[in-house]
């Protein structure tokens, strides 16, 4: 990995980098963001949401030191997917109980019948399943499944984020988005805001990853905050930022098909539906950008997002395609572009992993294969991102 002192591509105007969430998919997104560091692209603001806040924070804190971040992420991989361990155990308990009960003949079952089970092992197994069901019912009574503790360990121990460095005015601005459930809308937290201290910033980082009901909500300034879910590009579009580069991974970058959906469990379907909702909001933001003179570029012709600016997603050439503007929602129509801002030569560049890591998901990864996948697929995605980003910036 390289980190040149200056970009060989001439930049004009301000540049925003957006980093989406997606749980452990930041292990994949890291290699995409490495492209801006290796090309030496100057960045004014990094806007993040959910687990993307972890990556954005480390990029700013280390001054885009890819070697240092690479080492830290490898330690996370070596430690295994521990953040959602309790959730996995709960899901496994449900599946085991369902499998056991489905094989058990309940016709005419009585207490005396249970006592007459053929051997002690069967009786002990039944008691174990009953205890498991009792635990599931207890978990069901709570408003959330996981506490903040796994997220706090990830922030403080695994990634060792230094929040005092993030508020340095000489470094790029970091924005983190949470969903304010008290006020029924998003909150954008900025390291440029005087009330956002290092301690508050840590709370915000926890809050943006609180995907309810899986993780407990976070109280900040007496209000309920949860996972921010989506990036908010519209303010930067209205302000006329010259270049907006968005990195996202996981199912955000993959088209759902009938074959895929038919094989999903209920949990997998819920996650897919969550991503589809995020996609829809991003489409609205991109349509708003296009309506304001921005050209949309996407490196992955197979991704959902490419269909916005590319009438033929099978095309090999993602550049210079005509676009179809869909209906803009009212909240975007109400945002007015300041007078005198030039409409031409502004662009939104969307970069997704063209080579997805096969054993990586939102909630975890295969520890046995992930270290190898991290290298092989990561480096391929980095080279693709660098090549595409160079072309998009020069177009």
Locate 384 and state its tokens. 């693709």
- 7 by Cβ neighbours in 10 Å (0-12 / 13-18 / 19+) ranks as middle
Closest C-alpha among 188, 290, 182, 174 to residue 231: 188
Tell me the torsion sign for CA atoms 155, 161, 167, 169. Answer: negative
Please count the residues of the chain.
395
The pLDDT value recorded for residue 197 is 95
- 274 by Cβ neighbours in 10 Å (0-12 / 13-18 / 19+) ranks as middle
How would you write the pLDDT of the chain (395 residues) with one tens digit per residue?
A: 554 445 556 667 899 999 998 888 899 999 999 999 999 999 999 999 999 999 999 999 999 999 999 999 999 998 888 776 666 566 555 555 555 555 555 555 544 555 555 555 555 665 666 666 665 556 556 666 788 998 999 999 999 999 999 999 999 999 999 999 999 999 999 999 999 999 999 999 999 999 887 888 999 999 999 999 889 999 899 899 999 999 987 554 455 677 777 777 666 676 677 777 777 788 788 888 888 889 888 887 655 554 544 444 434 444 434 343 334 445 454 555 445 444 447 999 989 898 989 888 777 888 889 999 999 999 999 999 999 999 999 88
Locate 310 and state its tokens. 């590319």
Non-local (6+) Cβ contacts of 170 within 8 A are none
Q: What's the predicted TM-score (pTM) here?
A: 0.79
SS3 content of the chain, % helix, strand, coil (to 5): 45, 15, 40
End-to-end CA distance of the chain: 25
Pure H helices in the chain: 26-39, 52-61, 66-79, 85-103, 111-115, 120-140, 149-153, 163-166, 198-207, 234-238, 258-262, 266-291, 306-309, 330-333, 367-394
Q: Which residues are bridge partners to 219 per DSSP?
A: 224
The pLDDT value recorded for residue 7 is 56
């Amino acid at each position: 990995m390289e980190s040149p002192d200056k970009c060989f591509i001439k930049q004009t105007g301000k540049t925003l980098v957006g980093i989406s969430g997606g749980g452990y998919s930041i292990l994949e997104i890291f290699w995409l963001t490495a492209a801006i560091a290796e090309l030496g692209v100057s960045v004014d603001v990094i806007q993040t949401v959910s687990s993307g806040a972890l990556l954005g924070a480390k990029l700013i804190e280390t001054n885009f030191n890819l070697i240092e971040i690479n080492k830290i992420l490898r330690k996370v991989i070596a430690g295994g997917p521990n953040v959602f361990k309790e959730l996995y155990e709960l899901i496994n308990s449900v599946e085991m109980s369902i499998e056991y009960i489905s094989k058990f003949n309940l016709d005419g079952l009585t207490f005396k019948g249970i006592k007459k089970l053929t051997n002690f092992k069967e009786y002990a197994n039944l008691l174990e399943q009953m205890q498991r069901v009792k635990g599931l019912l207890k978990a069901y009574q709570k408003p959330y499944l996981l506490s903040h503790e796994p997220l706090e360990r990830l922030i403080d121990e695994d990634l060792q984020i230094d929040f005092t460095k993030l508020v340095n005015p000489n470094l790029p601005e970091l924005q983190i988005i949470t969903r304010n459930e008290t006020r029924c809308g998003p909150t954008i937290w900025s390291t440029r805001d005087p009330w956002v201290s290092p301690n508050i910033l840590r709370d915000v980082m926890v809050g943006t990853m609180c995907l309810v009901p899986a993780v407990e909500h976070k109280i900040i300034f007496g209000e309920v905050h949860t996972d921010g879910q989506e990036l908010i590009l519209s303010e930067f579009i209205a302000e006329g930022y010259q270049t907006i580069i968005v990195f996202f991974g996981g199912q955000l970058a993959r088209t759902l098909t009938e074959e895929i959906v038919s094989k999903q469990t209920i949990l997998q379907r819920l996650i897919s539906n969550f991503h589809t909702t995020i996609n829809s909001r991003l489409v609205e933001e991109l349509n708003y950008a296009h309506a304001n003179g921005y050209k949309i570029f996407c490196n992955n012709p197979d991704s959902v997002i490419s269909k916005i600016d590319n009438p033929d997603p099978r095309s090999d050439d993602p550049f210079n395609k005509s676009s179809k503007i869909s209906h803009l929602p009212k909240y975007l129509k109400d945002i007015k572009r300041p007078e005198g801002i030039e409409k031409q030569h502004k662009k939104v560049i969307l970069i997704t992993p063209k080579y997805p890591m096969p054993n990586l998901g939102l909630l975890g990864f295969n520890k046995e294969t992930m270290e190898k996948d991290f290298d092989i697929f990561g480096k391929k995605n980095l080279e693709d991102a660098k090549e595409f980003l160079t072309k998009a910036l020069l177009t």
